[in-house]
Each structure stands twice: as structure tokens, then as C-alpha cells.
């Protein structure tokens, strides 16, 4: 199978892992994302012939073969990195953007340059909203992920519409074998027209290969 024009590879940008939102040099807000799903997608994309660019938060994973990686810490750094990559995309070949990162929605309003002392903290942490990376990016074929605990498919469908996605990969993280840190995942693809496709429990590698195949079959 060949998903590209001769001599040119379509860019596939993948965000992966958590972001960290620091309040001082030694403390941050974050989440337990390990980046496994995103790294599996990057590997599957490279194997399928895409020019894969991985934008990774702090994770303990090796860069898959053939993948170019940018490491970031915060959501705002992730957005800057994604925008810079989109500017590099080859004319006429719309890039693919797959957002698997567990981006922190909020960050501390102020980042102290020094380690805060107990006496300097009031017990209230003021937060401000982070940018929605997937929603704010244009000019790409966009695929999102929705890890939910309630109303899984309805929430996924809302995000698919609001972020103008080609499809969204929904999973119920209350079910065994899914969610943060596992080797497996059970997902349902939700398309903008309301169509859903449920896949059985599989390794994240297998899920990644099938997602890349679904993307390659989209009209771009």
C-alpha cells in the first residue's frame, strides 16, 4: 500500500503523553498518561510511509524508528511545536494531525521562578485555561482521542463535532484493559455523521495499525 505521492511523504503529526504545568521549578499539575498509544501510532504511521513528527510530553519511551521527535513540557509549548510543524508540511499534501496527548486543560496563572515556600502560598491555586491544541489547529485532517468515564459515545461525538475531526477514537477508561498505562485498548471510532465502529480489546500496537489504515482510507 502507498499513501503518498511519488517521492513525497504526507506529514503525520502525533501528540503524545501528558503535559506538565509548572507552578514553580519543582512542582507541576499533570496526569498519568504514559504516551504508549501515541508512540504506537507514530510507529504505525512511519511503517505505512508517512513522514511522522511526534510531539511528546515527558514520557519514558524510546522514539520509534523513522520518526522525528520534539520534546515539550507544557500545553503552550506543545501548541507552538505543532504549529511550527504544520508550516513545514509539503504544499498540496494536507497533513494528518492525530492528538493522543492528555493535555492539561488548566495551568497555574503564575509560574514562580524560584521554589515556593509554604509561607508564600495561600492554599488557593489560581488557574487559567490552556489552549485547545486540537481545536485551534487548521489545515490538517484531524483525529482526536476521547478517554471518558461517562456518556462515552455522546461526549466523543460532541468533541468530534466541536473540533471538526475526521473521526474520534473513544474509549471508556473505567473498563478493564483500557486507559492510562495499559498495553491494550478497547476503542470505538465515532465519525462526524454519527456512524460508530466498535473494535474488540486489542494491543495498542494493533489499534494503532488499524487507525492508520482507517486514516489512509479517508478522502484527503
Active site residues: 31
**With binding defined as CB under 6 A, does residue 146 bind ligand CTP?**
yes
Among 35, 64, 144, 179, binds ligand CTP (CB under 6 A): 144
Which one of 100-108, 175-183, 188-196, 199-207 is the stretch in contact with ligand CTP (CB under 6 A)? 100-108
Among 20, 159, 186, 204, binds ligand CTP (CB under 6 A): 159
We find the least distance from the C-beta atom of residue 165 to ligand CTP, in angstroms, to be 8
**Cβ proximity of 185 and 207 under 8 Å:** yes
We find the least distance from the C-beta atom of residue 8 to ligand CTP, in angstroms, to be 27
Burial class (CB in 10 A: 0-12, 13-18, 19+), 36: buried
- Give the binding-site size for ligand CTP (rule: CB under 6 A): 15
Q: Whose grid coordinates read 489504515?
A: 213
What is the C-alpha separation between 135 and 118, in angstroms, rounded? Answer: 37
Contact set for ligand CTP, span 68-97 (CB under 6 A): 75
**With binding defined as CB under 6 A, does residue 57 bind ligand CTP?**
no
What is the C-alpha separation between 194 and 110, in angstroms, rounded? Answer: 41
**Cβ proximity of 118 and 34 under 8 Å:** no
Which one of 87-95, 141-149, 202-210, 212-220 is the stretch in contact with ligand CTP (CB under 6 A)? 141-149
**With binding defined as CB under 6 A, does residue 142 bind ligand CTP?**
no
**Cβ proximity of 212 and 41 under 8 Å:** yes
**With binding defined as CB under 6 A, does residue 145 bind ligand CTP?**
yes
We find the least distance from the C-beta atom of residue 101 to ligand CTP, in angstroms, to be 5
Which residue, 90 or 106, is less far from ligand CTP as judged by CB? 106
Which residue, 30 or 90, is less far from ligand CTP as judged by CB? 30
**Cβ proximity of 124 and 105 under 8 Å:** no
Which residue, 101 or 187, is less far from ligand CTP as judged by CB? 101
Q: Give the H or E element holding residue 12.
A: strand 11-16
What is the C-alpha separation between 177 and 72, in angstroms, rounded? Answer: 28
Which residue, 90 or 188, is less far from ligand CTP as judged by CB? 188
What is the C-alpha separation between 120 and 116, in angstroms, rounded? Answer: 6
Q: Give the H or E element holding residue 51.
A: strand 51-56
Which residue, 4 or 178, is less far from ligand CTP as judged by CB? 178
Handedness of CA 35, 162, 81, 44 (dihedral sign): positive
What is the C-alpha separation between 208 and 96, in angstroms, rounded? Answer: 14
List of residues contacting ligand CTP (CB under 6 A): 15, 75, 99-101, 103, 105, 130, 132-134, 144-146, 159
Amino acid at each position: 500500500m502507498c499513501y503518498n505521492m511519488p517521492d513525497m511523504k504526507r506529514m503525520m503529526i502525533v501528540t503524545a503523553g501528558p503535559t506538565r504545568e509548572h507552578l514553580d521549578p519543582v512542582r507541576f499539575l499533570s496526569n498519568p498518561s504514559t504516551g504508549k498509544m501515541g508512540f504506537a501510532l507514530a510507529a504505525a504511521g512511519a511503517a505505512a510511509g508517512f513522514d511522522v513528527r511526534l510531539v511528546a510530553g515527558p514520557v519514558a519511551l524510546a522514539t520509534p524508528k523513522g520518526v522525528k521527535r520534539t520534546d515539550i513540557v507544557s500545553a503552550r509549548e506543545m501548541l507552538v511545536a505543532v504549529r511550527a510543524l504544520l508550516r513545514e508540511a509539503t504544499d498540496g499534501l494536507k497533513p494528518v494531525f492525530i492528538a493522543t496527548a492528555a493535555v492539561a486543560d488548566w495551568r497555574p496563572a503564575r509560574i514562580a521562578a524560584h521554589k515556593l515556600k509554604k509561607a508564600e502560598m495561600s492554599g488557593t491555586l489560581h488557574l487559567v485555561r490552556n489552549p485547545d491544541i486540537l481545536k485551534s489547529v487548521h489545515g490538517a485532517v484531524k483525529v482526536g482521542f476521547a478517554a471518558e468515564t461517562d456518556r462515552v459515545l455522546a461526549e466523543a461525538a460532541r468533541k468530534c463535532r466541536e473540533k471538526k475531526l475526521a473521526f474520534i477514537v473513544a474509549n471508556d477508561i473505567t473498563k478493564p484493559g483500557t486507559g492510562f498505562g495499559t498495553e491494550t485498548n478497547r476503542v470505538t471510532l465515532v465519525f462526524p455523521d454519527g456512524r460508530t465502529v466498535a473494535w474488540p480489546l486489542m494491543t495498542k500496537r494493533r489499534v494503532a495499525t488499524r487507525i492508520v489504515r482507517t486514516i489512509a482510507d479517508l478522502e484527503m
